[in-house]
Amino acid sequence: MADIMRGLLVGRMQPIHEGHMDVIRRILGDVDEVIICIGSAQLSHSIKDPFTAGERTMMINKALTEHGIPASSYYITPIQDIACNSLWVAQVEMLTPPFEVVYSGNSLVQRLFLEADYKVTEPPLFNREIYSGTEVRRRMLVGEDWESLIPKSVIEVIKEIEGIPRLKHLSKKGT
């Protein structure tokens, strides 16, 4: 049997949206398996990072199932940030299955993996003005349509964990 090729995607996924789904589908068109790293796993309960790593795992898992992506083709791994950028690739390697290609639009992520001799690919951005975590969270706060930007199963998770009241509470002045 030929060697299995794996690609790695790192993102905070706060929350996972249709832009992330587009890039995951592209990666699975290139390689056999995708490793989805939940970046900044230690962060939650802030406006920029409202959801815990466990909640984000649930969202990603359900979104991939909804889109018919077989569980045998992906791994989901939370990765905490560390103070030393120069050691971060080793931290990722310690927590993930082996991989050959890194997919990222983030210049710091690209730089660190290039210096560690990985192949790095920048996937095209899919409608970035609306498919971004910042835009999804902004709409949640002001009561605009955020549901159309994310998979239906992720809407259900956000309702289950009462994500909108959490975000609105966190946005109150004095917190």
The CA distance from 90 to 166, in Å, is 34
Q: Min. distance of Cβ 85 from ligand NAD in angstroms?
A: 4
Q: Min. distance of Cβ 74 from ligand NAD in angstroms?
A: 15
Are 135 and 129 within 8 A, CB to CB?
A: yes
Per rule CB under 6 A, is residue 7 in the interface with ligand NAD? no
The answer for residues whose C-beta is within 8 angstroms of residue 79's C-beta and 6 or more apart is: 10, 37, 38, 39, 41, 91, 92, 95
Residue type, 18: E
**Residue number with CB closer to ligand NAD (23 or 167):** 23
Among residue numbers 130 through 169, which ones bind ligand NAD (CB under 6 A)?
131-133
Are 144 and 14 within 8 A, CB to CB?
A: no
Per rule CB under 6 A, is residue 113 in the interface with ligand NAD? no
The CA distance from 132 to 129, in Å, is 7
Per rule CB under 6 A, is residue 108 in the interface with ligand NAD? yes
Q: Which of 90, 114, 125, 142 binds ligand NAD (CB under 6 A)?
A: 125
First-to-final CA distance of the chain? 56
Among residue numbers 10 through 49, which ones bind ligand NAD (CB under 6 A)?
10-13, 19-20, 22-23, 39-40
Q: Which residues bind ligand NAD (CB under 6 A)?
A: 10-13, 19-20, 22-23, 39-40, 81-82, 85, 88, 103-106, 108-109, 112, 123, 125-128, 131-133
